[in-house]
Structure 1
Amino acid sequence: MLIAGPTASGKSALAIALALEEGGVIVNADAMQVYRDLRILTARPSEEDESQVPHRLYGHVPGASAYSVARWLADASAEIDAVWRSGRVPVIVGGTGLYFKALEQGLADIPLIPPDITEKWRAAKGDLHAELAKRDKGAAARLNPNDRQRIIRAIEVFEGTGKPLDHWQRAAQGSAVLAGVEARRIFLNPDRKTLHARANARFERMVKEGGIEEARSLLEQGLGPNMPVMKAIGVKQMAAYLAGQTPLEEAVKAGQTATRQYIKRQLTWWRHQMPGWEERRA
């Protein structure tokens, strides 16, 4: 069973309810909730929640670690297999679309592209969509002419490997964790006004319930700004407050704005990348 949706849509509560009904074990598919340093600011399930049903892959990674999709997929594969072998139902829940895509479609094992090819195309000018069409007509037909980043990647792969990108993607799909598995797929998509109100209230609550102290503790580790954990919503905003750069009220509003922007990105990504799920509005 797969449960996805934007932040603050009620995924965790639904996952617990369905896991209790089905005899399930909840497996985390949220890229920020893996970090042990940020229980509050990432809205990880509470200890009370975790006492109701087994939860896996929550808070198991130190913030100093640059966790990746590939590492999560390996960890999730092991947990899902263990749940199946125990005779229980894995309930995979989270808001990170790439994690679900990796489960269902695998990760393409593309050979390393030579640096000179990468540098050439990332510096290239002109109509790159036309350049892609000369090499890989299938990819050119699928990609928006304005999607420069993905176009460049498709050109790099073709030139570096001699095979189109979908060759590597098809190979990955055959070995995907959920290949051939009949699974219920639920996408929570509440009314946008309701969702924004929930997200705003939750951010205020997280700040009041220890989010500032949590951010301070993380900042004291001296991690670089490019570490994934430092990009969690709330860290940057609380850091500005703690440094005396922003009043707390403004920092909270900035965090709420960042959350709404993230919700928009999640919904846009899901609409284009993962169609066909059972959609619930509440």
Structure 2
Amino acid sequence: MGKTAASLHLARAFDGVVINLDSRQVYADFPVITAQPTPEEQAACPHFLYGFLPAGEKISAGRFAELAGGLALEQWRQGRLPLVVGGTGLYLRALVQGLAEIPPVPEDIQRQILADLARHGPEVLHARLATVDPASAARLAPRDRQRIARALEVHVTTGRSLTWWHEEQARTAPTRPFRALVLHLDQPNERLYPRLRLRIELMVDAGARDEIARAWNRLPDETAPGYSGIGCAEVLAWHLGRMQKDEALALWERNTRAYVKRQRTWFRKEAGRVDLAPEELERMEALVREFLKG
């Protein structure tokens, strides 16, 4: 939490633009639930790659990195500082390091994995993934249908885990056309958890259920990629009458805490990151100034 305020501060200080690097904030139907910057915040400086994808479509890390990387280079050449903001660690790695060229998955394997998803549900397949690719399972939410299916498809097709392919890219990646300063914002749980609870309450007050209801009227298909994110899945269960409000919000909070833990585990492995508290704006500014000198 605190990424939006930090990014706006740095954008003002360095004539910057903000490029989304969050796999959930791409969806146009869910600006509230995915905590996308508000229209007022987006008006403060140019923002890119927020809310551009329908809930029924998915996007790979590689494709997202192509879009974000292209925008970053374009803005840099125009004299503006690209500020890539978001918590999806795989997207960051794809942008900075690139991803290995994974062999295509045959259609019959895709159909089988999707059939298993429909028959058993994402939690069962998540447990299956944990036995063949525990690192991927640890970073994915148990209801993230799209990414669980992708990781299993890769393992069945290649005999190697998705984690192995990502590590292979780190060993063999060509030089990327830009450098990156990674500022990792975090705070102790005793400060973070109450803020998480408050943010969920504010999202509900801001119309989270109405947001899901409108999306469901357009696309009544809970297997659609947009519904798989934390918040969307729980509010959809509430909207469909499968959970009471309090139960859904408690699950949303638990899943958000689990996601924070997965994010911390991921970013601890990122060499060269700088850990900061969200309020350390002057230190962030100093770090960016020093980085730009190099």
TM-score between both structures, scaled by the size of structure 2: 0.72
> For 1:129-155, what per-residue CA distance to the aligned partner results, in whole angstroms no more than 9, with x for missing partners?
xxxxxxxxxxxxxxxxx9732799799
Matched, 1:148 2:132: yes
* Residues 175, 219 of structure 1: alpha-carbon distance in 2 compared, 3 angstrom cutoff: farther
Which residue in 2 is equivalent to 1:126? Answer: none
Which residue in 1 is equivalent to 2:174? Answer: 174
CA distance in 2, matches of 1:45, 1:36: 12
Amino acid in the other structure paired with 2:272: G
Which residue in 1 is equivalent to 2:272? Answer: 276
Amino acid in the other structure paired with 2:276: R
Please state how far the C-alpha of 1:231 moved relative to its aligned partner. Answer: 1.1
Which residue in 2 is equivalent to 1:185? Answer: 182
Matched, 1:242 2:226: no
Amino acid in the other structure paired with 2:275: E
Residue pairs, 1:74-153, within 5 angstroms: 74-112=66-104, 148-149=132-133
Matched, 1:262 2:232: no
Greater C-alpha radius of gyration = 1
* Residues 114, 150 of structure 1: alpha-carbon distance in 2 compared, 3 angstrom cutoff: farther
Which residue in 2 is equivalent to 1:120? Answer: none
Please state how far the C-alpha of 1:275 moved relative to its aligned partner. Answer: 3.1
Please state how far the C-alpha of 1:63 moved relative to its aligned partner. Answer: 1.3
Please state how far the C-alpha of 1:110 moved relative to its aligned partner. Answer: 3.2
The structure whose residues are more often helix, as a share, is: 2
Gaps of 5+ in 1: 1-8, 118-145
Moved more, 164-173 or 44-53: 164-173
Please state how far the C-alpha of 1:32 moved relative to its aligned partner. Answer: 0.6
> For 1:58-107, what per-residue CA distance to the aligned partner results, in whole angstroms no more than 9, with x for missing partners?
11111121121122112112211210121110000101000110111101
> For 1:17-73, what per-residue CA distance to the aligned partner results, in whole angstroms no more than 9, with x for missing partners?
011101101100000101111100000000110111111111111112112112211
CA distance in 2, matches of 1:114, 1:154: 12
Provide the secondary structure at the position in 1 that maps to 2:75. Answer: helix
* Residues 224, 249 of structure 1: alpha-carbon distance in 2 compared, 3 angstrom cutoff: same
Contact in 1 for aligned 2:99/2:166 (Cα 8 Å)? no
Provide the secondary structure at the position in 2 that maps to 1:90. Answer: strand
Matched, 1:228 2:200: no
Amino acid in the other structure paired with 1:30: D
CA distance in 1, matches of 2:246, 2:134: 39
Gaps of 5+ in 2: 110-129, 136-151, 279-294
Which residue, 54, 67, 70 being the options, matches 2:59? 67
Aligned pair count? 239
Provide the secondary structure at the position in 2 that maps to 1:255. Answer: helix
CA distance in 2, matches of 1:166, 1:277: 19
Which residue in 1 is equivalent to 2:199? Answer: 202
Which residue in 2 is equivalent to 1:218? Answer: 215
Which residue in 2 is equivalent to 1:121? Answer: none
* Residues 147, 18 of structure 1: alpha-carbon distance in 2 compared, 3 angstrom cutoff: farther
User: Aligned-residue CA RMSD in angstroms?
Assistant: 3.0
Moved more, 73-82 or 207-216: 73-82
